[in-house]
Amino acid sequence: MKLHYYPDTDSLYIDLNARPSADSREIAEGLVVDFDSDGRVVGIDIQHASEIVDLKTLETESPPAGKTRFA
């Protein structure tokens, strides 16, 4: 999973996996969910993110064991 913040559009994209998006649906105002060709969620776009999400902190709780990378 990767988090991408785009300050020029104030958008936060949560990339859940490497599968390509085949369809997108706005499920609430400013919240767009991307689906692959099998209908599985592959990403979430939060528009106007600074008004909705606390962008100053990032915390994880009980991540699965394995490789963790912070870039």
Q: When comparing pLDDT for 69 and 35, which is higher?
A: 35
Query: Could you tell me the pLDDT band of residue 65, with boundaries at 50, 70 and 90?
Result: low
Q: What is the pLDDT of residue 71?
A: 58
* Domain range enclosing 6: 2-52
Residue from 61, 59, 27, 58 nearest 45 by CA: 27
Assigned domain for 61 exists: no
Tell me which DSSP letter residue 67 carries.
-
Strands 31-35 and 2-6, bridge-based pairing = unpaired
Sheet with 41-47, strands from edge to edge, namely 2-6, 11-15, 41-47, 31-35, 23-28
Assigned domain for 43 exists: yes
- The total domain count for the chain is 1
Query: Could you tell me the pLDDT band of residue 16, with boundaries at 50, 70 and 90?
Result: very high
Residue from 5, 7, 28, 25 nearest 15 by CA: 5
Assigned domain for 35 exists: yes
What digits encode the pLDDT tens for the residues 24-63?
999 999 999 999 999 999 999 999 999 999 989 888 777 7
Task: Specify the pTM.
Answer: 0.83
